[in-house]
Every structure is written in structure tokens, then in C-alpha cells.
Amino acid sequence: MGESGSGRLAYNLRLWGRPARFLPSQKTSMLDIQLLRSQLDSVAQRLASRGKAIDFTEFTALETERKTLQTRTQELQNQRNTLSKQIGMLKGKGEDASAVMAQVAAIKSELDAAEARLNELLGQFNAILAALPNLPHESVPVGADETGNVELKRWGTPRAFDFPVKDHVDLGEGLGLLDFATAAKISGTRFALMKGQLARLHRALIHFMLDTHTAEHGYTEVYTPYLVNRESLFGTGQLPKFEEDLFKVPRGDADPFYLIPTAEVPVTNIVRDEILAAEALPLKLVCHTPCFRSEAGSAGRDTRGMIRQHQFEKVELVQIVRPEKSWEAHEELTRHAEIILEKLGLPYRRMLLCTGDMGFSSAKTYDLEVWLPAQGTYREISSCSNFEAFQARRMQARFRNEKNKPELVHTLNGSGLAVGRTLVAIGENYQNADGSITIPEVLRPYMGGATAIGPAA
RNA sequence: GGAGACGUGGCCGAGAGGUCGAAGGCACUCCCCUGCUAAGGGAGCAUACGCGCUAAAACGCGUAUCGAGGGUUCGAAUCCCUCCGUCUCCGCCA
């Protein structure tokens, strides 16, 4: 299966073809512009359900001016083009064209002004559109924040401990294998240093997840850049609104790079500006990367331990599918993430995020939350979203359908899983009274057959 | 980093300031012919947006797009500038 997976990618790459081109005047629309124009009311309503108010009067005013101005501009351009052709014909015949040239000159000043104003207007328009989040799917509950999320299922039973449970910090430091002080010396807060068997367990998790998704779930493994450009971040929706969450790498006069906050960015952007062959779909890609987040807005939250770090590892699942398949794919992809938790024997629950708690680009999101005994609660370990055509529209990612017409693909992704948090969950759920950690069965082959991590190990 | 070449539609490839959205070929779709596979003939075949028509399409008209952005010009695929990318040679580092 792993082999057919990589063969599939090579096949797909051949079918990917050459990039489509951006049309500067309308490239940034995120929601279907036609939908906005024709059904502003219902769009505004659905956006309001996720806390995004749309300024009706501003939008309508811009739209009205755009319409008349665009019509007028095109009219003038048409006149200019027609007259210019006449000049060409006259000159070709060696006749005098000065009368016609005077006519064009008369049009010119109005045309220049109209074009300038129209560009300005479209710029404003696009800025508004680019900042609008995706519309929630009808199955998404309306809610203001995480209290509106709905628990859909639970798997596994939290273990009963007959000794005081330690959290992962006490466990890891007790074993001498986890060291935040040194990480802080090297870099600062929100970094971790792991050693020995714990570092190996961390690596084992990555290998286990990748192997499972490639061999059993039909994904093709990819390796991508970790530094990306602005266009890619715009495509998946991190820009323009969430720049402060990202680490930015200046490059003198050149455009800056950004450290990826998730593999979603480089992997999904593989199909940016592409017209895929219908046979290339679905594309199922899995990718392990480090993720870098500034956590600018979460000062003071989860300061202890490795729950919330500036740098963490994640194995990400990405699917590029035909529009009519995306809801099916969403369920499938979420199951793929859940299976990792089940194989690891970690109790979890599946949450359906409400409108107010979903990410910017998502139409529907399931969060998987793993049981953390030390916190006595479930904590997010995976987030699986269907973006429908939202990212595809921003990226101009399309496929050629049966009518031979380019059509936007749907994109999905989900963590499968966040590695650091999985490590935390294993430590806390598999801890023993003596401070050692039992290694889950499925990871032992990756640990040289070891069954536990202990002070002696 | 230095020097040079290049970037045209799904693909290949002409085009060098005027009637070019772009010859020709391949691929694809439809039709005809041919009794199978092969071959031949004809037609069609970029995208987005606007306007008109429409229940919606189809369609018609228009505008923009020849790597991206800017400039010159009545008029730019074609000339100039900047950027991005690809290739070749040299240097440098592995």
C-alpha cells in the first residue's frame, strides 16, 4: 500500500499540468463573489452566526459604484480600442489619421480617471472579501464560543489510578528526560528539551503515525519546505488576518519567509494555481513537520509543560477532493485521526465545533480531545476540517471536470496527530506508581522492543 | 555571488509595435467516411469578469489576461524598468 501510494503521487504529478494564471482584479475573493452579490442577505446571516458582521451599507455602496464604473470603463476601453484599430488601418493605407487620434485623446483623460478609480474600488472590495471567513455548513451548531461545541462521541474509559497522578512535567523531569530550564536557556519560554528514551518515544510516535496513514489509510507521504511565502499563507487563510500568530523571517529586500504554523500550509498549497486531472483526485497526503506559532494571543495560557509551545511536531493529513465527495472525506479523515488514538489506547472524545469556535477558513470542524488524567479533562489533540472551496478559491486550485471545465476542488485537513500532545497523553495515561511510563504496544517495535521508560531505562 | 539564455493556451510551438485571444501541430469533443485495431475528411475546443437575454443555462456583445508588477505609445505578446521562476557556464559551499 505504501508503494502504491508513492506511485500514485508520481502519477498525479504528471497529471497536475501547468499553473493557471491569476487575474489581478478578482483573485482575492474568498466566498463566491456571485453568491455575495445575489444573496447578500443570507450570506450576511450565516456570517453573523460566526460573529462576523458584514457592513451592508458599505458593501452595497461599493458594489453600486463598482457596477456603474466598471460598465463605463469598459465602454471607454471599447471606444479606445476601436479607434486605435482605425488608426492602424489608416496608417497601413498611408492615409492621415490625425482626426481619429484627436478623438482618442479626448477619451483618454476620462478613461484614465475611471480606470484608476475602479482599481482603487476593487482593492477595497478585495480587502473586505479577503477578511471574510468561510460560511459554516448547515450541520454546524450556532454558538458564541467553545461552550457551544457539541460532544458527539467518547471512546475509551479513563483509567482509575490507585496512586497520585503526576502531570507530564513532573513525570518527564522526574525521569531526567524532559528539561524546560535548559530549553529556556537556549531559546526562551515555550520550548522543550527532551532526552534519551523520551526523545525516542517522540520520534517513535511520528514514525508510527506516518506508517499507519501510508500503509493502512492510503495516504502518500510528502516532505515540504518549512519556510513559505505570503501567497501560500493567503491561500490557506492564515493571511491577511492572522499575521501576528506567525513567525516572520525577514530577508533584506526580498519578500519575507514565514515559518509554517502547520503542514496544512505547504501541503495544501501543492495544488495552488493548478488544474488537476479528474483522475488525480482524491489526493491524500500525509506530512510530518515541525510547526511554529508565536502564541501572541495566548500569553499566560498553558504556560506549564509542553501543551502549548512555539515549536512542536505534527503529522498532518490533507485531502484534495471533488466537491461532491468532501463531506464523505471529512468523516473518513476524522476517523483516520481517531484510529491513531485508539491504537495508542488513549481515551478521547469527538467534538463538533460551533460557529463561534471554528477556524477562519473552515466550513465544519471536528476536534478530537484526548483525556489528560493530571488535568482531569479532555484536551484538543486534533482538529479536522472541511474547507469546501474556500481555500481552493483563494488558491485557484481546480480540476478538469467531465464537461472539460475547470472547477474548484475542495480541501480538507486534520491533525493525525499533534505529536507533542500525544506524548503528553501517553506519559500521563501510561504512568506507573514508580514514575516510569509503560510504552503502548504499538510503539514498542519503534522503541527497540522496550516495554517501559524508567529511571533505569 | 558573476556572465548569459529563456518564461506564449491542456501540451509542443510560431509571432518581434497595429485588423492577435494569439499561426501550426498534438491531445480532447462532436459529425462524416471507412465493416473490426489503423487511417482519412469536417467542425469545435482558454479563463475570469461585466452587460444583455433567460426561470436558470445555452447564447450574444464587451473588457481584461501571452510569468508578475510598473512604464512608453492613439495602440504592447512584441519596446523600457523592477521582481519572480527556469536553464547553461564560472565561482563558492557541501
State the Cα–Cα distance between residues A423 and A106, nearest whole angstrom: 73
pLDDT in tens, A300-331: 888 899 999 999 999 999 999 999 899 999 99
Nucleotide nearest to A33 (CA to C1'): B49
C-alpha pair distances (Å), A135 with each of A38, A72, A107, A364, A367:
15, 33, 43, 9, 18
C-alpha pair distances (Å), A180 with each of A430, A436, A444:
21, 19, 26
pLDDT in tens, A112-128: 888 888 888 888 887 78
Least confident of A27-36, A48-57, A149-158, A400-409: A27-36
Q: A80: Cβ under 7 Å from strand B? A: yes
Q: A33: Cβ under 7 Å from strand B? A: yes
Q: Which one of A380, A400, A407, A444 is the catalytic residue?
A: A380
Nearest residue, CA→C1' of B64: A23
Contact positions of strand B to protein Cβ (< 7 A): 9-12, 18-19, 28-29, 45-51, 62-70, 74-75, 83-84
* Over residues A236-251, mean pLDDT: 88
Q: A34: Cβ under 7 Å from strand B? A: yes
Asked if A244 contacts A214 with a C-beta cutoff of 8 angstroms, the reply is no
Q: A37: Cβ under 7 Å from strand B? A: yes
Quick check: is A308 catalytic? yes
Single pTM value for the model: 0.88
Nearest residue, CA→C1' of B17: A88
Asked if A361 contacts A391 with a C-beta cutoff of 8 angstroms, the reply is yes
C-alpha cell of A339?
484510529
Quick check: is A383 catalytic? yes
Whole-complex ipTM: 0.82
Asked if A330 contacts A364 with a C-beta cutoff of 8 angstroms, the reply is yes
- Å: A61 CA to B43 C1': 47
